[in-house]
Amino acid sequence: MAKPTSKALTRFLKWRYKHISHKTFIQLMSAVIGLLAGLASVTLKNSTYFIQSLLDRGVLFLSKELYFILPVVGLTLVYLYVKYVHKEKLEHAVSSILFSLSRKKGIIASKRILTPLVTAPLTVGFGGSVGLLGPAVASGAAISSNVSRLLHIGARDRNLLIACASAGAIASIFQAPIAAIIFAVEVFSLDLTMLSMLPLLLASISGVLTSYFFLGDETLFNFALKDTFQVKDSLYYILLGVGTAFASVYFTRMYFGILKLFKPLKSPKYRLLVGGLAIGGMLYLIPPLYGEGFGFINHLLEGDHRQALGVTPFDAYVDNIWVVIALLSGITLFKAIAMTTTFAAGGAGGIFIPTMVMGSALGNVFAKVLNNLGLGIEVSESNFTLIGMAGLISGVIHAPLTAIFLIAEITGGYELFVPLMITAAISFLITRNTMAHTIYTRELARIGALITHNKDQAVLTMMDLDEVIETNFKAVTPEMTLGDMLHQSVAKSSRNLFPVIDKEDRLLGIVLLDDIREFMFDINIYDKIRVESFMIRPPEQIFYGRDSIKSVMKKFQDSGAWNLPVVRDGRYHGFVSKSKLLTAYRRKLITFTR
């Protein structure tokens, strides 16, 4: 069956090269990718809701009092799938995509198409406190990468189509096509030109139409904006921006803190058990932490905090508004903890929707406090609930425009553009200056694999050290005589530099041709002088696997050298020349910006 498929593909590619321009083909492919990413998102949502509905109807024969053990069941199923089917450690969805763009030329393994579609519904459906957006984007990106490779699409356009997949997935989940485009630009650091704008637009439209086709006009938030923006409330939106900024810092630090806390538990089984029971305990005390939490947000927008809180051990006290405020504050604090515990225990999901849940609770708490201080202040709780979500999204993932347009689109709240901009901008400015990197990007920045909107920085990040390493230098040993070096190395090399290595290929130093030139024609000393007499230390060394291209550039700048040796696993590996490095940089820059 492989040969006919291969022949059919070859015929199609030949037909495409003859009849469809490259630009038009990429635009058509962006629409197809948006459709496929949309289908992945719809599958993900329906699978999750199917699992939740089965559990709600008692198919698993568990009483309501014991539902807090469900996360352990879900995490166990995820563990079994990962161990016996996926056979690799689960990676954070968006971070792994960003890494593939910067270091793997957009190549993503085909098995990552299916894995998010299985592990995320099991995690969320059984109560894991994470979102579905990240897995939807991950599956769509894997589809895009593999389709692009199948159709022989180059690395640059493959990266663009992966961003298109993210736009299609987001548009499908939220039915917010504009926000989907902006997310791809802000998070994937794309340059918004007409060459990238049209494919992103087509993918976004395709994704949202897929959602409408399979789900109808069903929206995530059944909410119609009733209260318009009041100028007198501007100060409160500024304060909310400050509050969401501090909450964003808390969210991010709690994420890394809890992951670090679980590190001593080396066995996945122990992490699963400890994490699953911890999540179950939190769900028992705070039911809205169950799953994604869109129902919780909807109830807050409707002004029904009783339904939002669900059945808790504190039901006898919810007539007191300050008890309600305390319980909602608990959700604000514990959503980040429950989410990260789910990840640490081996669950799969995303962080985007948990930020929305936390932001909605914080915004609602802020409005309730203002309204109940007895100072005559009266603000719209639903508006503050919406804008709290924007503040958290802006602060946690450093994407203020995505936050503004997403909340406006999914709620029809375009009249709240001014307060959305106020809160999102303040939250972003404070968190950006407090934490340079997000949950998505911190580890990538640490290893020098983060693409940014800075073109020079992005080009350096996408360059591969292997492309500029030269290995045709003739090595010598310190015991060699000058005569042996001249006959065995200098005479057979076009280079003016020679690495000195020992028997285990460890780099000891270098010999410059200029340093031996005056002795080269004195035959009488050929057997009297050894290489170690001319050997000098290199001005710098490049460590393979540790140094990024950016750090290599800095070493050339600081040392003033034209060639620097590369050491790999403690052994000499080759040289990098400044001229070749700069030539490769210029070529990559031209490719990146054309």
Looking up residue 566, the CATH number of its domain turns out to be 3.10.580.10
Q: Could you tell me if residue 9 is inside a domain?
A: no
Chain segment 228-259, per-residue pLDDT in tens = 778 888 999 999 999 999 999 999 999 999 99
Contacts of 410 (CB under 8 A, 6+ apart): 174, 175, 176, 179, 219, 220, 221
Q: Could you tell me if residue 318 is inside a domain?
A: yes
Last-in-domain residue among 397, 424, 450: 450
Contacts of 564 (CB under 8 A, 6+ apart): 538, 539, 540, 541, 542, 552, 555, 556, 575, 576
Q: Report the mean per-residue pLDDT for the chain.
A: 86
Chain segment 103-137, per-residue pLDDT in tens = 788 899 999 999 999 999 999 999 889 999 999 99
Model confidence band, residue 99 (pLDDT cutoffs 50, 70, 90): confident
Chain segment 429-482, per-residue pLDDT in tens = 999 999 988 888 888 777 776 666 555 566 666 677 888 898 889 999 999 998
Contacts of 264 (CB under 8 A, 6+ apart): none
Judge residue 481's burial from the number of C-beta atoms within 10 Å of its C-beta, 0-12 exposed, 13-18 middle, 19 or more buried.
middle
The pLDDT, as a whole number, for residue 194 is 65
Q: Could you tell me if residue 7 is inside a domain?
A: no
Query: 567: left (phi > 0), else alpha (psi -120 to 50), else beta?
Result: beta
CATH number at residue 408: 1.10.3080.10
Task: Report CA dihedral (435, 546, 263, 113) to the nearest 10 degrees.
Answer: 90
Model confidence band, residue 516 (pLDDT cutoffs 50, 70, 90): confident
Q: 273 and 196 in one domain?
A: no
Q: Which amino acid is at 355?
A: T
Chain segment 14-58, per-residue pLDDT in tens = 888 888 888 899 999 999 999 999 999 999 999 999 998 888 776
Q: Could you tell me if residue 364 is inside a domain?
A: yes
Q: Could you tell me if residue 5 is inside a domain?
A: no
Q: 51 and 152 in one domain?
A: yes
Q: 235 and 211 in one domain?
A: no
Contact 249, 398 (CB under 8 A): no
Contact 244, 427 (CB under 8 A): yes
Q: 431 and 329 in one domain?
A: yes
Q: Could you tell me if residue 500 is inside a domain?
A: yes
Q: 169 and 130 in one domain?
A: yes
Last-in-domain residue among 450, 478, 493: 450
Q: 388 and 473 in one domain?
A: no
Q: 465 and 551 in one domain?
A: yes
* Domain region containing 432: 231-450
Last-in-domain residue among 450, 466, 489: 450
- Dihedral sign computed on CA atoms, order 504, 505, 507, 508: positive
Model confidence band, residue 3 (pLDDT cutoffs 50, 70, 90): very low
The pLDDT, as a whole number, for residue 592 is 57
Which pTM was predicted?
A: 0.81
* Percentage of the chain modeled with pLDDT above 70: 91
Q: 466 and 422 in one domain?
A: no
Q: Could you tell me if residue 225 is inside a domain?
A: no
Whose CA is closest to 236, among 418, 393, 434? 418
The pLDDT, as a whole number, for residue 60 is 47
Contact 403, 416 (CB under 8 A): no
Q: 87 and 171 in one domain?
A: yes
Judge residue 149's burial from the number of C-beta atoms within 10 Å of its C-beta, 0-12 exposed, 13-18 middle, 19 or more buried.
middle
Q: 399 and 490 in one domain?
A: no
Q: 122 and 44 in one domain?
A: yes
- Span 186-199, average pLDDT: 77
From CA 432, how far away is CA 435, in angstroms rounded? 5
Kindly tell me if the per-residue pLDDT of 2 is higher than 50.
no
Q: 589 and 573 in one domain?
A: yes
Q: How many domains does the chain have?
A: 3
Contact 372, 297 (CB under 8 A): no
Q: Could you tell me if residue 224 is inside a domain?
A: no
